[in-house]
Structure 1
Amino acid sequence: MQGNPNRDESDTVEVINPTGRGAALILCEHASNHIPARYDGLGLKEGDRQSHAAWDPGARAVALALSRALDAPMIASKVSRLVYDCNRPPEAPSAMPERSEYIEVPGNRDLSETARAERVRAVYAPFCDAVSTLIAARKAENLGTHLITIHSFTPLYYGQPRDCEIGILHDSDNRLADAILDEAHRLPDRVIRRNDPYGPEDGVTHSLKLHGIAHGLPNVMIEVRNDLLVGAEAQAAMTDELLMLLHPAMAKLDQTSPGGTHA
């Protein structure tokens, strides 16, 4: 790779700080609202392309800041989740949704198997390959790894307000989520909840299962309400708050896990 040795990029996935030796691996599946030209904008209105339906506003900035603070590798999708949602398996209808809340996605309507397979090859497979490569490299170096995926969510969903501010999500492996929730007292003014505003029943834990549970890695999905991530100052403040939870949670888990947090 030429250029910055701390950054590796393809058309659809970016890998930042791949040689980071901190105890975390950061994923950001919904980091971008970019729609490659070959998909003709998916037939979306410009406002819809900028909306939360197309990406998780503020999530990439927080993920990047956490990567720096934790000396953690970070992997992010560079393509809108409306093209392909890297937190969904290929067989899931929501991997290439025809509708997101009130927004219709004409370019995803009646996709052929060939068209679906092309998006899997172009977007999903490179993301998964990048994650698998990093996990294998870290295991080879005997580096303990906590898998952390960073997302944001809209304050209103189908017109209903959400009072949750930080969601700590998990599937069958709740080790890291429990350790984080045990530290929630450090942020007494925040509304922090388990598996809210989504949970496993909503199909949102694919990355946790595929990249975390399957490799025996402690894992968690962190959802932040996106009105708390408007602008660089708010993003930096939220990063600091999340670090107040993550630092002691990961340290506690490392102390109680024989042999560290690698499989």
Structure 2
Amino acid sequence: LDAVAVFQPYSRLVIDCNRPPEAFDAIPAVSDGIKIPGNQEVNIADRTARVAEIFEPFHAEISRRLDEGRHTVAISVHSFTPRMNNVWRPWDIGFLFRLDTDTSTRLRDSVTRRYPRLRVGMNEPYQVNDSTDWFVPRHCEARGLNNSLIEIRNDHLRTAEGQKRWADIVASSIEDYLNGN
């Protein structure tokens, strides 16, 4: 793909860069019933530092790239756990959207055509909304960009082979989208 990628190297448990920084769970004290030791006593200064050192530079770079004016389809790729709060999540991949249904639908159609055995969800395992999301509302919808937030089940990404396979799956679906397929 001839694309720009902006990576976030920090775990969402340090600060979730796809949530508004003021959201109560942007720095979760507990995740899936497990206490996060480094987040048990986060004070205002700690939160402010994480926002300034991690959240803001990441989103400033995304904004800088999007504001370059290139023809852009904005894709955000995340991973999710197979089980959360004792609920099994059967999807291999999910395409999340809110206003722009077309981009996620076309990406999904490509994946199901090329990989018919995969379990594909639409707005699964999450749904996009202003209180729990940042990328789609703040970067994409605010600029009128075609967009999709892709979630890959993280047990598929544990090995180098799995990472390569899923990179190929996502890249091929984006190529199909860009080629009008």
TM-score (norm 1): 0.63
Could you list the per-position Cα deviations for residues 197-225 of structure 1 after superposition, in whole angstroms to 9, with x for gaps in the alignment? Answer: 11125955321111111111111111111
- The one-letter code of the counterpart of 2:80 is F
CA shift, 1:145, in A, is: 0.7
Counterpart residue number, 1:248: 176
CA contact (8 A) 2:32 2:84 kept: yes
- The count of residues paired between Structure 1 and Structure 2 equals 180
Q: Which is greater in Rg?
A: 1
Larger RCO (alpha carbons 8 Å, 6+ apart)? 2
- Displacement of 1:234 after TM fit? 1.7
Q: CA deviation at 1:252?
A: 2.2
* Cα deviation 1:104-161 (Å, max 9, x = unaligned): 1243235332322221111111011111111122x0xxx2111111111111222332
Q: Look up the equivalent residue of 2:164 and give its one-letter code.
A: A
For residue 137 of structure 2, what is the aligned residue in structure 1? 209
Question: 3-state SS of the aligned residue for 1:245?
Answer: helix
Match of 1:104 among 25, 31, 35: 35
Q: Deviations over 1:9-44 (max 9, x none)?
A: xxxxxxxxxxxxxxxxxxxxxxxxxxxxxxxxxxxx
Verify: 1:178 aligned to 2:105, yes or no.
yes
Name the counterpart of 1:62. none
Q: Distance in 1 between matches of 2:133 and 2:99?
A: 10
**Partners of 1:179 and 1:250 within 8 A in 2:** no
Q: CA deviation at 1:101?
A: 0.7
Return 5+ residue gaps in structure 1 as ranges. 1-69, 254-263
Equivalent position of 1:42 in the other structure: none
Shift of 1:237: 1.6
Q: Give the distance between the partners of 2:39 and 2:59, measured in 1 at CA.
A: 22
Specify whether residues 182 and 78 from structure 1 end up closer, same or farther in structure 2 by C-alpha distance, changes over 3 A only.
closer
SS in 2 for 1:252: coil
SS in 2 for 1:200: coil
Q: How high is the sequence identity, in percent, across the aligned residues? A: 34
The residue correspondences of 1:1-263 to structure 2 (distance < 5 A) are: 70-137=1-68, 139=69, 143-183=70-110, 184-200=112-128, 204-252=132-180
- The code of the aligned residue for 2:65 comes to L
Output the CA distance in 1 between the equivalents of 2:47 and 2:158: 34
- SS of the residue 1:243 aligns to: helix
Q: Please state whether the residue corresponding to 1:79 is helix, strand or coil.
A: coil
One-letter code aligned to 1:165: D
Q: How large is the RMSD of aligned CA atoms in angstroms?
A: 2.0
| Structure 2, unaligned runs of 5 or more | none
Over 3 Å counting, the alpha-carbon distance change for 1:130 and 1:202 in structure 2 is closer
Runs (4+) of structure 1 moved beyond 6 Å? none
Q: After TM superposition, give the deviation of residue 72 of structure 1 in Å.
A: 1.2
**SS of the residue 1:247 aligns to:** helix
Q: Which amino acid aligns with 1:233?
A: E
For residues 206 and 125 of structure 1, the distance between their equivalents in structure 2, rounded to whole angstroms, comes to: 12
Structure 1 distance, partners of 2:36, 2:158, is 26
